[in-house]
Amino acid sequence: MISLNGRKGLVVGGSTGIGRAIADAWSQAGMDVQVLSRSQPTNQNKLRWSAVDLADQASAHSALKEAIREPLHAVCFAAVHYGERRTMFTDTPLSQWRQQLEVNLNGLWLTLSTTLPLLRKARPGLFLNVSSEVVFNGGPGRAGYAATKAACASLLDSICQEEDPDEVRLISVLPAGMVDSPGIRRRRPSDFDYATYMRPDSFGPVAVELAMKTGIQHNGDSLVVSGDGDWRSVRNSLPTSQSDRRRK
């Protein structure tokens, strides 16, 4: 029986979707998990929660610092601003681009800068980023999302080369296909068929195993997670593009 008893974790963007599934999986395996998001998670169970709005620069940094406590063993960053729907670049308002930068990229930066000093003390701590196939496949109607996710991957790649792997390991996980999450549902018609979509809880097994083994053998890697919970490195094969002009 896997146990993360005695470990403390933080999930930024853990109120819904993939972040929530990772928070639940860690919590069910015994970790004491704190979620940060704008809205309180429903059916919170053992999760602790603090409010943070990553789009509000003035308050986000202090809210993060306030919420984080020692010891800290594992951090997941899953917050995202997709935008209302897929939009061609010249139709995209500046406000959407700025929101994507604030939440997706600056939110990751703030989370890293606040938590890395504590994760190092865990020797080793785990930083788990939720990434996307858009890092490897640009696509129409999603330039801002793709650019911010690619910048996140680049940021993590550089930091990973700065950090001592005996102190902290940085790993990304990304879905092999589309995932049925509240953020995606907001962009689909009410009669949309999600039969081919993955479920967020596919991320539970990989998140627990990485936390158990603190990411040994996967430091710096991006792991593509399948609907059955299995995973593989992007170094073996690149993920399939989910870009489709028909999806708005």
Ligand X SMILES: NC(=O)c1ccc[n+]([C@@H]2O[C@H](COP(=O)([O-])OP(=O)(O)OC[C@H]3O[C@@H](n4cnc5c(N)ncnc54)[C@H](OP(=O)(O)O)[C@@H]3O)[C@@H](O)[C@H]2O)c1
Chain residues that interact with ligand X, rule: CB under 6 A: 13-19, 37-39, 52-55, 78-81, 103, 130, 132, 149, 174-175, 178-179, 181-184, 200
**In terms of CB distance, is 120 or 188 closer to ligand X?**
188
**In terms of CB distance, is 146 or 160 closer to ligand X?**
146
Helix (H, G, I), strand (E, B) or coil at 24: helix
Shortest Å distance, C-beta 5 to ligand X: 25
Helix (H, G, I), strand (E, B) or coil at 232: strand
Contact between 98 and 81 (Cβ < 8 Å) = no
Q: Rounded to 5, what percent of the chain is helix, strand, coil? A: 40, 15, 45
Shortest Å distance, C-beta 164 to ligand X: 26
Give the DSSP letter string of 132-164: -GGGT---TT-HHHHHHHHHHHHHHHHHHHHS-
Task: Spell out a b/e string for 101-116, using b for 16 or more CB atoms within 10 Å of the CB, else e.
Answer: bbbbbbbbebbbebbb
Neighbouring CB atoms inside 10 A of 22's CB total 31
Shortest Å distance, C-beta 44 to ligand X: 12
Shortest Å distance, C-beta 34 to ligand X: 13
Verify cis geometry, omega within 30 degrees of 0, for the bond prior to 41: no
Shortest Å distance, C-beta 120 to ligand X: 24
200: which DSSP letter?
Answer: G
**In terms of CB distance, is 37 or 114 closer to ligand X?**
37
**In terms of CB distance, is 167 or 180 closer to ligand X?**
180
**In terms of CB distance, is 7 or 49 closer to ligand X?**
49
Neighbouring CB atoms inside 10 A of 196's CB total 9
**In terms of CB distance, is 149 or 218 closer to ligand X?**
149
**In terms of CB distance, is 130 or 234 closer to ligand X?**
130
Shortest Å distance, C-beta 179 to ligand X: 4
Shortest Å distance, C-beta 18 to ligand X: 4
Spatial distance between the Cα atoms of 107 and 195, rounded to a whole number of angstroms: 32
What's the token pair of residue 17? 């979707």
